[in-house]
Amino acid sequence: MEVGIKVPRLEGMRAEAATVVRWLKKEGDHVGKDELVVLLEFPKVEVEVPSPESGTLTKVLVKEGRMVRVDDTLGLLAT
């Protein structure tokens, strides 16, 4: 089963867009649930995005330096 890693909505903030700063894992890496996989920069704050499930990062969909919107899928995990 594949699970998407999504851009989170930040509680208390109206920011709708962010930039992918750095992937902390690469395609093929195994990640545990809640392990940090990607760093995003919203206006005024950087956010480390955790893995929603344990599995293998099979696909990075958004490269570093690209803009994303809340709820966009950043990458895919095989669980």
SS3 73: strand
Give which of 44, 54, 49 is closest to 77, Cα–Cα: 54
SS3 21: strand
Structure-block tokens of residue 67: 């803009």
Identify residue 8 by its one-letter amino acid code.
P
Which domains does the chain possess? 2-78 (2.40.50.100)
1-42 pLDDT tens trace: 999 999 999 888 888 999 999 999 999 999 999 999 999 999
- Cα–Cα distance, 52 to 34 (Å, whole number): 6
49-66 pLDDT tens trace: 999 999 999 999 999 999
